[in-house]
A and B are shown apart, each in its own frame.
Chain A
Amino acid sequence: MPDLSSIAPAGVVETLQDHWHTLLDGLKVTLELSVFGGAVAFVVAVVLGLAAISRLAVVRTVSRIIVEFFRGTSLVVQLFVLVYVLPQATSVGSHPLLFCVIALGLNYGAYGSEVVRGSLNAVPPGQWETTTALSMSWLTKIRRVIWPQAWALMLPGLNNLMVMLVKGTAIALFIGLPDLTSVGDDLRKSGVDAWTVYGISFVLYYLAALAFSAFLRHLEVRAQRRLGIRPSKVKTAQATAEAVA
């Protein structure tokens, strides 16, 4: 480790020197959960979001039920069902990291599908009608015209959800998966100063969340520029509150 003694309190430097391997491994797990969980959540959100605006009532209803189920039953319960019930009921075995990714993906994917649905519906009806008037197939319609516009609208909401997902990876603590929170807790139990070890984790979480948020914000600005518009951020807070309830 580089010499940090001149800028940081002594406890922090010592802790970092002694345990940076452990903390780095924890950070790695947290980032893996964030990236894979986010990817699964995005796929789930897009599929359920598109299903929610389907012309077929059956598809819409199925999507609705799945979304309400995963929104309503709490992330930790879903994780526990995967970790405790699934290996008992089937022969899949125990895969804490995978189960955690699936739980995060399904839960935040369900929330995300509300953002996707809302954004698709927010594309002006005139745009949908014009695609019909130009005889576009469903796929062309969505892919070429509707999605690029909805994309810009949904990114602020997805951004907030991604930050929540990064925070949500801390559920790893409850199943003994050594993520940043877990390893911090273990270090504290082994006698390392609580403030120091949690403080380091805290900063790392903050930086990770900022990084993901900045990346999505970058995508948002790019999408907006492509549309030649400058949408307001005002509704974002409300939209997220609706999605996560």
Chain B
Amino acid sequence: MYTDKRKSGIPLIGDLPLGSHFCHFYQTREDILDIFVPYLKAGLRSNELCVLVTSRALGAEYAEKTLKESVPRFEEYAKNGQIRFLPVARCHVKKGRPGKMLFSLLDTAISGGFDCLRLACSDCPARRSGGAPPCFEENTVSRYSALAAFAYQRNKFDALDLIEAVKKHRFALVRNAGKWEIIESSEAHTARDTLRRSEEKLQSVFNNMSEGFAYHRILVDKKGRPCDYVFLQVNKAFERLTGLAGKDVTGGKVTEVLPGIEKDPADWIGRYGKVALSGKPAQFESYSESLKKWYSVSAFSPRKGYFAVTFSDITARKGYEEDLILSRQEWERTFDSVPDMIALIDKNHRITKVNRAMAEQLGLRPEECIGLPCYEYVHGTDGPPSFCPHSQTLRDGHEHIFDLHEERLGGDMLVSTTPTFNERGEVTGSVHVARNISELKRAEQKSRILSETAGKLLSAERPREIVDELCVKVMSYLGCQVFFNFLADETSGKLHLNAYAGVPAEDARGIERLDYGVAVCGCVARDGVPIVCENIPGTSDPRTELLKSHGIKAYACHPLLAGGIVIGTLSFGTKTRTSFTDEELALMKTVADQVAVAMERIRTQEALRAALDRYRSFVEITGQIGWTTDANGQVTEDLPEWRKYTGQEIEDIKGWGWSKALHPDDILHTLDIWKKAVAERSPYETEYRLRRHDGVHRHFLARGMPVSEEDGSIREWVGICIDITETKEAEATLKRAHAELERRVQERTAELAGANRELEEEIAERWRAEEKIYRLNRLYSVLSRVNEAIVRIHDPEELYNKLCRIAVEDGLFKMAWIGLTDSETRLVKVAASYGDTGGYLEGVRVYAADVPEGRGPTGTAASKGTPYICSDIEHDPLMSHWRDSALRHGFYSSAAFPLRIGQVVIGAFTIYSGKTQFFTNEEVKLLSSLVEDVSFAVESMANQKRRMEAEEALRQANAYNRSLLETSLDPLVTINASGKITDVNAATEKVTGCSRGELIGTDFSDYFLQPDRARAGYQRVFNEGLVRDYPLEIRCRDGCITPVLYNASLYHDETGKVLGVFAAARDITERRKAEEEIKKLNRELEQRVIERTAELEAANRELEAFSYSVSHDLRAPLRSIDGFSQALLEDYNDKLDDQGKDFLQRVRAGSQRMAQLIDDLLKLSRITRSGMSRGPVNLSELAGRVAGELRETQPARRVEFIIADGISAKGDDKLLYLALENLMSNAWKFTGQNPEARIEFGIIEAAAISNSTLSPPMVRGGEGGVMSEETGDPQLTTRDRETVYFVRDNGVGFDMTYSDKLGTPFQRLHSASEFPGMGIGLATVKRIVSRHGGRLWMEGEVGKGATVYFTL
């Protein structure tokens, strides 16, 4: 196919393709020279290395001498080493290495810069003779850039040898009768023919293949290095892809076609040279500086020194790859923008990659971190620390999470390590993610302080104790160095310093007493609102002078409030900062509140204690009221203390009299208790209110004990009364204080509970964040493994399996599968899956179409090309088809991503998770980019596969199709997009008179009478996909025109790319002839119709002239006859006898009757001749008018008219009026003798009646009118039905026997004397009806009346 034609130098042979070998049979030495001299001469002229193998038959000397004489400038060729003589003996080589000499010569040809090698062997022993094999095995030549001619001695060959020898060569030359002839074996002929056809076929494939193809010969410099190459052949795609025209480059050197290519960094010449000279094929992708494009190139060498290149333009793909790189960079940026510190660490604890956050923490640039031992830089240790989670991950291959405090990383960290694996599943390192959780830790600590101190505060005994313990802790937590606690001192009206820290004692003594409104604390105490002083050194404020002197830079003071009263202040100050955060201030307030509560509690307790003290002293001062009674509880002795207290007289207290001093409400109650105690001899104790001598009631506690005699009997009761008023009040106060305290504790507890909840939420948030980190880690790991797989795997199916496996094993998804859409059924078929242990996919049917089974995640991704995330399978309505099965398999959420090849979505990748709401935006983004990577990889594989297949197709020209096409009688042609013929069959050759070789490559439209129409035809195929029965006329070379109908359609390669048009022609010569015949007959018919019409028109005109003259000329004589007859009667009356007068009367009557006849005739003819205007006509109204006119003619007659309402028709109103007038006046006339005459006009609907004009068989008369027998048939459509009009009378009727005579002009069924008339009425009606396209018929019976039916 890659023909590089060389001149043979022998006119009989013409050009020879490279690789040709032929032989000739000689009888004399001159015979050899006769062939070899011109053969070698041509070779020398064509820059070929010419080698003549000399022998006994042709010696070197003689040959050189002859050549010298025949070849001009032979010396020059010889000097350049272009012609060599080789003795035949040197050509025989040992068995097994027959080609050594040939290869050596080929190498010489190439390194010498020659186009090819030309061999002339003057003697070669015939193979059958059993000698050593010749070096130039005929068949081997065909594979290389060489031509070979062999000379055989004719008389050594018998017939069989001859045939055998001929068979081995392309052809042989034999001299017969002094003239050389070519003989060729039939096999060789057939083979060559087949070869030619397949070459042509391949040629068309080449020109239609989408990839560029070019065939070249390499050129080498003196040192044998490739320095240039020559274009030998290129295809159409080459032109398209490079923008170079084939005719411009073919035969040209690349350095001329693309100047500067030798400097292109891609080193095209060097690369191709290697292929051409080594024979090793090469594949690469390179950018061409000259053409400014990226190409994917596949180069191979069909024969040494030559190379063929197939290539495709991948500039767009490269652009896409750049996009991919950009998106990678974007990913990197994302990686860098994650606030968490991420480091990829290998097995040797060396950092392989870090993100920006990590690098910044380490104080390095990201690239500087690579290769550093992590422990050294992260922990500052010489080896991995004991807690190192990375070490653990390396050991067990699992994820590990660890909390640690590391100042180098900025405080408290939550660290996770996720393993990364290599292809063999071995752990190669981990993704190490650290999140700073210092803030969280602080929050925890704060909460702990608060809850701890709350308990202590509530149990503290002394104000100082409270504050000291609490504030030191708080101070350190807040990073403060100073605190002051002042308490209000009610007695002095000042504040006194209760507790402090951070200032020397002597300084503290100076502020032991502080006035309200002095300094910050004094102002806070006075106003009851907190004060926060920030940036104290930079602010001039008299209140902060003292603080400033102690180097305090920020200071916050909160009032201690108890029930709205300021009981003191609590303030904190720092020397290291100039401000506080809101959180710190909030904490201070909380502490102040707690302290206030605790202080209040202590103050209350102190107040209580003071009350008790007072009571004690009161008792001491006042003494107790002692009392005694007898055994029965009666007061019998004086009770001076009682009397003194109550003011009662001695008499008054005797017996139960004492009780009268009690509060009246308490008397009965007290006495009851007293009596009961006395009765039971049990100790007595009660409280009551006792009236003092001044009338004031005070609370008393009364206690008493019986004093027993030795015998056990009661001697007396002794008791005491104690004033407990103060205690009571204190108790009440205490109760109130407790209640208040309880309430505030509850409030505080609620606040703490709130704080705890917040804390819990924070902790939960922290866990969520951690989980997110794990998941992202897993995905990073998946991403890295999939990218490794993409690089390593070249088979889509294997890649799909790997992807699923990685998703499940590394991504820890429950299951993953890849479905590919069947392009016909749209069913998404499982192409790969992993983790489907429960057989979920077996029961699942998914379609990539808008059907219920196509609206789930996979279907949506595969049909719409967008990812679909189902966050909750259980509640997603679109999952209804798969829900039960999915839940049974533990799938709670899923995500599907489209897989593409180019723009086409070919399927989807779906993964399942055991958790709902599993997929976050970040993950979806990562997974999408992952699937895009896979899609791109699969597309690349598909491209690669297509290229291999195209090459395969090239090798396998389909002989079957070829023969099928060849046997077709219809001319078949394939056309490419530019309208060039790419292939034809034999029928085409026949119809055009041109050979295949002539046809191919020429314009399809050239072979037609109307080239423009032909062009429009195939362009329509390109636009619309096909044409049917497109008429064209093929012009044969011999001038014959063949009319054909073309059916043509597009044909595509397997990817659907349009290759060209396949056009089949059908010879319609015969059909055309028949059509012509019909057309001719039609034309004749047309002509005859025109002629006939003209004749008829002439006849009509004549008739018109005739009637005109009749109306004038025929009547005039009649008038004379009548007039003068009358004149005779009048003027000669006396001379005529009666008979004469009678005769004259008859003459007059005759002439008048004739005049009437003439008039009627004219009228009748006028109906036929008059013009017609069709329009809607109300027949009922016309009939009514006729009836009215008839009544006026004979007002005395009694006639009943029954005219149906609303009858209308389409027609000429004047003519229809005339028709009705005639019909109804006939009826009027023939009912003249009936005293109860009735005339009806109406319609009936009847089935359409064909042909019959009179007496239709399906109409019958009856009481209700005439009915169609088929009226009831529901299958009749309106088109089958027609309206039949009728005029019926009950007159004299007629005999149906004569019904066929009715309607003929002047035909009468009654005598004129019986009923006057000319017999013209019905004839007139019939003409009118028939002019409307209708029919007319009658029914009647003598004496019963008549009915005239008509249709319009």
Q: Do A and B actually bind? A: no
Binding site for B on A (CB under 8 A): none
Binding site for A on B (CB under 8 A): none
